[in-house]
Amino acid sequence: MAERRFDLKVVPLDIATGRNWIVLVNEADGLHYGIRAGDEISLKWDSHQTEVAVDLTKSFVQEGEIGIFRDILEKYQIKAGEILSLAPAPKPESLAAIGKKLNGGRLSEKEIVSIVKDTINYKLSDLELAYFVASSFPENNFTKEEAYFQTKAFAETGEMFKFGKIVADKHSIGGLPGNKITPIIVSIVASYGIIIPKTSSRAITSEAGTADALSVIAPVSFDREEIENIVKKTNACLIWGGALKIAPADDRFITVLKHLGTEPLSKMVVSIMAKKVAMGVTHLVIDFPMGEGTKIKNKIVAKKTIALFQYIAKKFGIKLRVIIQEAKGPVGRGIGPALGIRDDIAVLNQLSQRPLDLEAKATKLAGVLLELIGYAGKGQGSKLAYKALQNKQALAKFKEIINAQGGTVPDYDEIALAPVAFAYKADHDGEIKQMDNVAIIELARILGAPETLAAGVYLNKSLGDQYKTGETLYTLYTESEVRLEMARDFLANHLLIK
């Protein structure tokens, strides 16, 4: 049967929907061509093709026109007045594979590749992707081999980098407030001449991703050529991975998962490892916090998750070391983008107010990475890491990286915090034995983090500290009295310190 196609003229709509696959068509055209709201159609122009969902309107666009939202305009560089050829979209073949997985079937590499490619090409909607993601939640529903196939497909359908024979990296599983160890580790390792191109994420459910914290002092979005130049100059970069086409299918999965506020552990492993493979990583250390308030609740979950990391790493020839640490509270004192990067600057400058727990964790992991590469002998890595901090070579490297990215490293006191502040004081004497990680993150988000870079919580006291009545336990920073009142209401029903 011949394909039914028709042409419409582009009208740009200066609205970002957050979804790249929605267009607007006049109801009269919809009636004429048999298109209903929610139908999926195929767009063709020049040598390009993508699939989108249709919304109908009586007034925003006229007959013979198609409204294209900013998301699609920016992604494909479509111009006003261009003529697009439209046709009903065929049912994606990958839907059969998704149905098979929902019924407990095992997917072949070919079937997984079809899902990943249809994800990138927007042949699958958010709802259809959500069904596939949901199939990952039941324990053991995905085999290690299927996870490997998905990792490979994620990586190979995007940008692939090759920086050298030895490319180091470190990744934190997440779920722990603060914990901004990445800038310190990258600066230490790169200062010894080792290549460590670090891509980081923005926050999904936390108070700040590493990319959010770094954006306080420098640009973090670059294209391929710019990143290669930065790494060539400095041995490193500290960038947001979402600006690149690294594992692009994963970005769509993350969008779906963001609404859920959680993700299957197998999906988390695939997401992490796909980006490492794409960046050409050969040696990887994973920070694995475990305990209440983290993604890894207990040793049983940890064992299974680590086994999957090890399986996939071996498949790609990546040397891997996983460091498990029990998490009783945040790492560092700053919970929020600006507060977190301020902690890093304090450690790199070796200031007296630096958070020693953040310094200790960063140097331990940097040391493990130096040993894994073979730069340091067994048990000597942490000493080299501390040396790089004490003699300020790590600080010099950090400044070099940030300058190469078009930023400037300010002094500790020059980092602006949100103007509305509130000091929460102790009403009795005591000692901090445990802190509620989940509540601290939620509090920081109520205050406006990570969208408001200067918002968050500063822990004046941390784990193991003793305090007296009237001393400040933590300080809240936000941009409005309304948010501060919301935070105080939250604190009336939640204990951060135990």
262-282 pLDDT per residue, tens: 677 888 899 999 999 999 999
Instruction: Write down the residue that tokens 């019924």 correspond to.
Output: 103
CA–CA distance from 170 to each of 113, 194, 287, 288 (Å)? 27, 13, 7, 11
Q: Is 156 exposed, middle or buried (0-12, 13-18, 19+ CB in 10 A)?
A: middle
- pLDDT of residue 2 exceeding 60, the answer is no
Contact 244, 227 (CB under 8 A): yes
Q: Span 84-109, mean pLDDT? A: 90
Which phi and psi (to 5°) does residue 436 adopt? -85, 100
373 residue type, one letter: I
Q: Span 68-92, mean pLDDT? A: 88
pLDDT digits (tens, 9 = 90+) for 183-228: 999 999 999 999 999 998 877 667 888 999 999 999 999 999 999 9
pLDDT for the residue numbered 128: 86
- pLDDT of residue 20 exceeding 70, the answer is no
Domains of the chain in start order, with CATH, are 6-88 (2.40.40.20), 168-244+270-412 (3.40.1030.10), 416-491 (3.90.1170.30)
Report which of residues 389 and 103 the model is more confident about. Answer: 389
pLDDT for the residue numbered 1: 35
Strand, coil or helix: 240: strand
The full DSSP string for 73-114 is HHHHTPPTT-EEEEEEPPPPTHHHHHHHHHTTPPPPHHHHHH
pLDDT for the residue numbered 110: 96
Can you list the positions of beta strands (E) in 129-242?
Answer: 168-172, 196-200, 236-240
Report how far residue 447's alpha carbon sits from residue 445's, in angstroms, rounded to the nearest whole number.
5
What is the DSSP pairing of strand 168-172 with strand 283-290? Answer: parallel
Report which of residues 181 and 135 the model is more confident about. Answer: 181
- Residue 405: Cβ within 10 Å count: 21
- pLDDT of residue 91 exceeding 60, the answer is yes
Q: What pLDDT band is residue 76 in, cutting at 50, 70 and 90?
A: confident
**What share of the chain in percent tops pLDDT 70?**
97
pLDDT digits (tens, 9 = 90+) for 128-179: 888 898 888 777 788 999 999 999 999 999 999 999 999 999 999 877 899 9
Spatial CB neighbours of 132, under 8 Å, sequence gap ≥ 6? 98, 101, 115, 124
pLDDT for the residue numbered 21: 77
323 residue type, one letter: I
Report how far residue 387's alpha carbon sits from residue 384's, in angstroms, rounded to the nearest whole number.
5
pLDDT for the residue numbered 51: 82
Report how far residue 189's alpha carbon sits from residue 375's, in angstroms, rounded to the nearest whole number.
10
- pLDDT of residue 8 exceeding 90, the answer is yes
Report how far residue 6's alpha carbon sits from residue 304's, in angstroms, rounded to the nearest whole number.
52
- The chain-wide mean pLDDT, for the chain, equals 91
Q: Which of 237-241, 352-356, 434-438 has the highest mean pLDDT?
A: 352-356
Q: Is 60 exposed, middle or buried (0-12, 13-18, 19+ CB in 10 A)?
A: middle
Contact 19, 71 (CB under 8 A): yes
Q: Is 85 exposed, middle or buried (0-12, 13-18, 19+ CB in 10 A)?
A: middle
Q: What pLDDT band is residue 89 in, cutting at 50, 70 and 90?
A: confident
Checking phi first, is residue 464 left (phi over 0); if not, alpha (psi -120 to 50) or beta? left
Lowest mean pLDDT among 88-92, 409-413, 441-445: 88-92
